[in-house]
Amino acid sequence: MNDFQTIQMLHAANVIAGDEIDAGVEAFLNGAVAEPFVFRSGHRLNLVKAVRSHPGAQEFVGRSNIGPSLKRPFVRAAILQARPMKA
pLDDT digits (tens, 9 = 90+) for 28-71: 999 988 889 999 999 999 999 999 999 888 888 888 888 888 99
Is the per-residue pLDDT at 18 higher than 50? Answer: yes
**Average pLDDT, rounded, for the chain:** 91
How far is Cα 37 from Cα 46, in angstroms, rounded to an integer? 6
Q: What is the pLDDT, as a whole number, of residue 3?
A: 54
Confidence check: pLDDT of 1 > 70: no
Q: Residue ranges per domain, the chain?
A: 7-86
